[in-house]
Structure 1
Amino acid sequence: MRVYSNVIPYMEYRRRTVLRAGAAGVATAVAGCLGRGENDGEASVVGEELALATTTSTYDTGLLDEINAAFQERFGTPVAPNAQGTGQAIESARNGNADVILVHARSQEDEFMRDGYGVNRRGLMFNDFVVVGPSDDPAGVSDADQATAAFDTVANAEATFVSRGDDSGTHSKEEAIWAEAGAEPGDEWYQELGQGMGDTLNHASEAGAYTLADRGTFLSMRDNVDLEIHLQGPIEGGPELLANPYGIMAVNPEVHSNVNYQLAMAYIGFFTSPEGQELIEGYTSEGEQLFYPEALSEDPQFQQYVPEGWQSESSDE
């Protein structure tokens, strides 16, 4: 378990030249991850390396360490994660420098899919956002019951607020809350860092400031920062505006022929399988669950996301 954040410096992933397993072989491996026994004829993709563009929250919490180790043990192939803000992760995938992306900003995900860069999106898991700040709560945020009211309270008090400012899913959510609150943050009390979640929490702790954080990263770091939750998200009965769903999708091989689509789908298949979902559910920090599996739910959405207008004219005949 990581206890502080060292965000991987932004850089484009440079994929290694490797021998690729055939599609049939990886399909067998995917079938294996969905329920076959350990040695029941599973294909191997040893020698491959999966390029994953993802968010700092999945990396900082340590969840990816556990998922990727289990994936490598099953398939014999390592995962190379590049942890960035969601905007940077999506841009990296648009440039063909990732095989699969795992992010948490649905509007940006939908645009990525509509533009044809992604295929086979799956709802993977969720947690929520929380508003955190110094224990003495100088702005009185704990009296608010809505995210917009909490932000208004900070703005009216001109209490120091630290923003990630990095086009991440968390930053996008923060901007949406400010917009809904009808407030424009600025002046000296509002600080944009351009950093990941862990670094933002560390800075807020040192500055005695408020910030918006995903629950998973905050819980994994809470023993190392002097911050408390002052407004809970929907997991603890707070406003739905603070919901934080994660999606996973493969990069479209029709756009970038260099991506490893079969291996990407093996990873998606593993992450959304009973084994992958159980790993998500069982991943905790000091007994508290950090993420909640969504691919296997009481009301599952099995239909993949398909952009509007995908159907060709010939298919209507």
Structure 2
Amino acid sequence: MEIQRREFIAAIGSSAAVGLAGCAALGGDDGDGPEISGETLTLTTTTSTYDTGLLDELNAPFEDRYGVTVDTVSQGTGAAIETGRSGDSDVVMVHARSQEDEFMEDGYAINRRDLMFNDFIIIGDPDDPAGISGSDDAVEAFAQIAESESAFVSRGDNSGTHTQELEIWEEAGFEGGEFGEWYQEAGQGMGEVIVQTGQSGGYTLSDRGTYLSMINDTDLEIHVEGPVEDGPEILSNPYGIFAINPGVHDNVNYDLAMAYIGFITSLEGQEIIEEYTVEGEQLFFPEAIAEEPNFQQYVPEDWDGSNSD
């Protein structure tokens, strides 16, 4: 995935506005579409999107436009997907494409869209006990952390961050259960893990957005950068959003879910993402609108439709 700041061109903006106008009909103003005013949308999402404050900026204008309420449930990616699997969520926003693809292949999710991206970074104690600072190789940095037996705090919660961390450990030659006492599984969200890492004097893998939102509350430093700052691609961190399939769970609010997806992937929603900063730092980069659309975003990778009737 090429990491770059995207420019929104006028032609794309016009088409996005038309798409959003179609979603606006869901408010029932013309009497032809379903009435959603007064309803509640349940959104399950990652702790990173919630902790950074981005969702407050996205949800408020959507709620005002449609006269609805967005009930945001902050969980790790795995838990957010499982909530959707049980039909207790209308729309899911996460960042682990392998888990998203599996969920779609199982038939529980539809209409997936690329939404935005940032990247992962390896952060740790300023003293850098493993000597990894400035490395451009995340896999080798993990290997050095293990070799030095420096403390490493893992999310340990099947989140998108945890999924990516395990992929890096696998590339470094480590499988689950092969770690020593230096490896700690927190089973917590990113904010709590950053606090725990600071207490341990070790390292963790963090999404850049959560780290930047907490930069005034932690002494941890970035030791290995991700692709946003020209680091390795293995630290890329794309986010997707999809609706829960009403054909599987007829209780979900599909109309409102699609209105929400339409809004945050529209020009207006993408500009909110583009302009959202903390301490002058941009936390997320919009990805739904591009000069050359990625049509493969709508289906799982290698999807051939052979398991559909």
- Of 245, 248, 260, 1:252 maps to 245
CA apart distance, 1:162: 0.3
Tell me if 1:177 matches 2:158.
no
The secondary structure found in structure 1 opposite 2:57 is: helix
| Matching residue of 2:3 | none
Contact map agreement 2:20 2:263 (CA 8 A) in 1: no
Give me the whole-angstrom Cα distance separating, in 2, the residues matched to 1:235 and 1:119: 29
| Matching residue of 2:205 | 212
Contact map agreement 1:63 1:280 (CA 8 A) in 2: yes
Letter of the 1:212 partner, please give it. L
Query: Equivalent residues in 2 for 1:1-317 (5 A)?
Result: 31-32=20-21, 45-184=36-175, 186-302=179-295, 305-306=298-299, 308-310=303-305
Contact map agreement 1:124 1:272 (CA 8 A) in 2: yes
CA apart distance, 1:35: 8.8
What TM-score results when the alignment is normalised by the length of structure 2? 0.86
Query: What number of residue pairs does the alignment pair up?
Result: 284
Alignment gaps of 5+ in structure 2: 1-17
| Matching residue of 1:24 | none
Structure 1 residues 157-186: Cα deviation after superposition (integer angstroms, max 9, x where no partner): 100000000000000000000001113452
Give me the whole-angstrom Cα distance separating, in 1, the residues matched to 2:123 and 2:73: 27
Give me the whole-angstrom Cα distance separating, in 1, the residues matched to 2:159 and 2:187: 9
Contact map agreement 1:33 1:273 (CA 8 A) in 2: no
Judging changes above 3 Å, is the alpha-carbon distance between structure 1 residues 226 and 198 closer, same or farther for their aligned structure 2 residues?
Answer: same
Judging changes above 3 Å, is the alpha-carbon distance between structure 1 residues 312 and 176 closer, same or farther for their aligned structure 2 residues?
Answer: closer
Judging changes above 3 Å, is the alpha-carbon distance between structure 1 residues 303 and 188 closer, same or farther for their aligned structure 2 residues?
Answer: closer
Give me the whole-angstrom Cα distance separating, in 2, the residues matched to 1:313 and 1:291: 35
What TM-score results when the alignment is normalised by the length of structure 1? 0.84
The secondary structure found in structure 2 opposite 1:91 is: helix
| Matching residue of 1:17 | none
Give me the whole-angstrom Cα distance separating, in 2, the residues matched to 1:112 and 1:102: 13
Runs of 4+ in structure 1 over 6 Å off: 33-36, 40-44, 311-314
Give me the whole-angstrom Cα distance separating, in 2, the residues matched to 1:194 and 1:312: 34
The secondary structure found in structure 2 opposite 1:141 is: coil
Alignment gaps of 5+ in structure 1: 1-28
Give me the whole-angstrom Cα distance separating, in 2, the residues matched to 1:156 and 1:311: 45
CA apart distance, 1:284: 0.4
Give me the whole-angstrom Cα distance separating, in 1, the residues matched to 2:131 and 2:266: 43
Contact map agreement 1:33 1:275 (CA 8 A) in 2: no
Paired-residue identity, %: 60
Give me the whole-angstrom Cα distance separating, in 2, the residues matched to 1:47 and 1:145: 50
Contact map agreement 1:53 1:93 (CA 8 A) in 2: yes
CA apart distance, 1:34: 6.9
Give me the whole-angstrom Cα distance separating, in 2, the residues matched to 1:118 and 1:102: 11
| Matching residue of 1:22 | none
RMSD: 2.3
Give me the whole-angstrom Cα distance separating, in 1, the residues matched to 2:19 and 2:188: 36
Give me the whole-angstrom Cα distance separating, in 1, the residues matched to 2:112 and 2:198: 36
